[in-house]
Structure 1
């Protein structure tokens, strides 16, 4: 039996307009279309610059690109694709227009854009979260931390895969989702979408909370701990956007006019998609600006809590040696400070032939800033000093 749809002024439509509403099929009303364009024009370039900064830092200032960068690239591509598809639909007066003010063929085009775009956006969500979690694996060898990260990776991967598959195959046959006259049925997705929105918020909170104990336990000045926590804290902005979208979701799911009522939530989709990339690229910002503006950011020795190398006395060597000894004493009991660019610690194990005591040779190399005539701030006047000593312990 063929599925029938109502007609209005001789035009077949998905639904009838409310009484008293004057329908204009040729000049449909739209809301918040300008907001979508402005957010894309403002935030998309920032997201691109953040991504390029991340790649530059990884390639030229670090160990090169790794798997977390690959997932962030996939996240950026899906974020751009999501926004381009939605803007294309807006330009055709589909998104952000009244459902009852579209001919049925146009409404089916709107449904097709929704069918394609929503899963791509969920892929963006999953790729960027996986990128951040894979980055977490590189910052601490602690067993509990790595196990928690791997569990989070499994949760994000499975939930993203389930949601994407549900969006593509929630109707039987799948084309029923955008070909309204096709016979078949679709699962009522309301409760499922609410549950997935809540799970997204939970995983966002996990991503924010997970590194805090590890950062707090680092042996570094409080100001650096605060700065590191701020990097992860800024990433938690996406929690707020997820909450806003969750608050708007029930209205959309119950609406007989989803193309219109879903428009405010779509605005936050644009914001969130770009924030995924911007926040996900922030961990490399300090190294990037330290390379770009070394005097403003300070030397690595200063940022690591060492005294000014230009100051007299052997404090550099003693403090460096103290850090190494502390690492030997507390190995596996506390977190080691992140390696600094201006210091090099080499540990070499050896055992004497007949001695009953264990020995470890420690070489500490520090940079002593000698004053260069004519340039009190020159980094080229640094003199490397190497101190070697042997630790004996039972």
Structure 2
């Protein structure tokens, strides 16, 4: 039995379970920063960008600590095969990593809430977001206090020779995981009610709901983690704790990815537009990037406007060009056909309107301008 325990190893699972989330978190947040650095100056960084960057650093640090120090001191092997020194180092590593994981998770939640606050300028919704943020702040504060008081003295947590009193770590884990799952469900469900009320096409509503609902996968991971909390009270923590550790890393990755998707999706959308336009024979038209005014008609002293969706960045108004004779102007009572398209810009929360006219005389002047509208739903 002892020989089978000595040869048994879950180290490959630990390595893959932490390496994949590290790569995913670094890549998705890296793309987010790329979008911010290459965008207009006024749209570079907001509170949600700082919080998600902080969360990424904390969660990557958590995974690296468990991957390097944990595996180096027996994580993925049976505790009975480890020396007392290795077991103590692993428990110290697990304690430090727990702080990184918990604070990083709270930063993800606050970052997502800050993103909601920025892109959904609805008074009642913003008040709800502030309430959720206060709850998350109290939640992480409570956890950190209990973690700091886990054992008195604290050395008793990893050193069996030190006499002390400790809280029930399993009960603390149940509290952390249960409250974490509940807050995830609430946070990821918040924008759905706002999105379905937007005055936009069904296609846009579905696309927005999909982007913001991917976070429910993270809720599923949180639920799965509850099944492995028993490992905290297991005497073979370096073996039984592998599942809980790997799920924790993927939960962090899922939360950060969901926070980054509303920002980085434009990269893939623009790439798809370039591919489709490259194979089209239709004549190309010049576009104004992200709602900037055309330099042919805009004063250089005027501030640039908030960045809008590139798809709806051009608005056209037709002006008559002819002699001063009244007969040259169109009859005000005449019928002119108008076509209106609407869409919601995910980043600004604006409802964008594109107006085009037909039956334009051949001697008309075309002036390029912008037209956007913010729609606020009141209850």
Q: Shared topology, TM-score over 0.5?
A: yes
Alignment match, 2:340: 319
Does structure 2 retain, via aligned residues, the 8 Å contact 1:367–1:384? Answer: no
- For residues 37 and 303 of structure 1, the distance between their equivalents in structure 2, rounded to whole angstroms, comes to 43
Instruction: Check if 1:338 corresponds to 2:341.
Output: no
Q: Can you give the 5+ residue segments of structure 1 that lack an aligned partner in the other structure?
A: 1-19, 324-335, 344-363, 371-382, 389-394
> Which residue does 2:303 correspond to in 1?
none
Residue in 2 that maps onto 1:346: none
Partner of 1:375: none
Q: Deviations over 1:225-256 (max 9, x none)?
A: 0000001111221101101101111x213422
Q: 1:49 to 1:303 in 2, by over 3 A?
A: same
Q: Is the 8 A contact 2:28 2:260 kept in 1?
A: yes
Residue 283 of structure 1 corresponds to 262
Aligned to 2:80: 100
Residues 296 and 94 of structure 1: CA distance in aligned 2, closer, same or farther (over 3 Å): same
TM-score w.r.t. length of structure 1: 0.70
Q: Is the 8 A contact 1:176 1:184 kept in 2?
A: yes
Shift of 1:107: 1.2
**Aligned partner of 2:241 among 262, 281, 286:** 262
Indicate conservation of the 8 Å contact 2:10/2:77, yes or no.
Answer: no
Matching residue of 1:163: 143
Structure 1 residue ranges (4+ consecutive) displaced by more than 6 angstroms after TM superposition: 297-302, 306-309
Match of 2:327 in 1: none
Deviation string, structure 1 residues 52-83 (Cα, Å, up to 9, x no partner): 22122233335111111111011111111111
Q: Which stretch shifts more, 256-265 or 43-52?
A: 43-52
How far residue 167 of structure 1 moved from its aligned partner, in angstroms, is 1.7
Q: Secondary structure at the match of 1:193?
A: helix
C-alpha change, 1:30 and 1:303, in structure 2 (3 Å) is farther
State the match for 1:21 in structure 2: 2
* Partner Cα distance (2:276, 2:140) in 1: 39
The aligned residue for residue 35 of structure 2 is: 57
Q: C-alpha distance in 2, partners of 1:53/1:267? A: 24
- The 1:91/1:296 distance shift into structure 2, 3 A limit, reads same
In structure 2, the residue matched to 1:271 is 250
The aligned residue for residue 23 of structure 2 is 45
Matches within 5 A, 1:76-87: 76-87=56-67
Question: Aligned partners of 1:302 and 1:172: how far apart in 2?
Answer: 58
Over aligned residues, Cα RMSD in angstroms? 3.4
> Alpha-carbon deviations, 1:281-307, whole Å to 9, x = none?
001133333444434689988966x99
Question: SS of 2:44's equivalent?
Answer: coil
Match of 1:319, SS state, is: strand
How many Å separate the matches in 2 of 1:301 and 1:87? 41
Alignment of 1:294 onto 2:273: yes
What does 1:325-364 align with in structure 2 at a 5 Å threshold?
Answer: 338-340=350-352
